[in-house]
Amino acid sequence: MNSRVEARGASLDVVKLAVAVSLLVGGILAFYYFSGISTLLRVIGLLVIGAGAAAIAFQTEKGRLLWQFASDSRMEVRKVVWPSRQETLQTTLVVVVMVLIVGIVLWLFDMILMSILRFLTGQGG
């Protein structure tokens, strides 16, 4: 009996997801179909339809798992120790200087190799 209840719940989840997707697709189609109406009203309507589709989708098992993942991720972001402004500026400066140095070195290698290639092929003089 338990497997029958799980199968019914899974099929109901599929129906809910299908309704959410069709609602979202219908909202997008309506957005373009009613192009004569103000863009602001169409965007507001699309946002309301999108929120309704999300509300339906979050009622499924996959939606609840997605919501749990988002809340767990938010909790982990709060634990991160962000660098100070000075550390960020110093790191950025080091990256910019290294990019310039590597660019200059690669430019010099290119010039040397091009000179060697011109000498070997007899071009340029």
pLDDT at 5: 52
pLDDT tens track for 78-111? 999 999 999 999 999 999 999 999 999 999 999 9
Percentage of the chain beyond pLDDT 90 is 85
Low-confidence ranges of the chain (pLDDT < 50): 1
pLDDT at 28: 94
Is residue 77 exposed (0-12), middle (13-18) or buried (19+ Cβ within 10 Å)?
A: exposed
Residue type, 47: L
pLDDT at 3: 55
- The answer to whether the beta carbons of residues 58 and 13 sit under 8 Å apart is no
- The answer to whether the beta carbons of residues 47 and 88 sit under 8 Å apart is no
| C-alpha–C-alpha distance, residues 7 and 112, integer Å | 70
pTM of the model: 0.55
pLDDT averaged over every residue in the chain: 91
Token pair recorded at residue 22: 């069709």
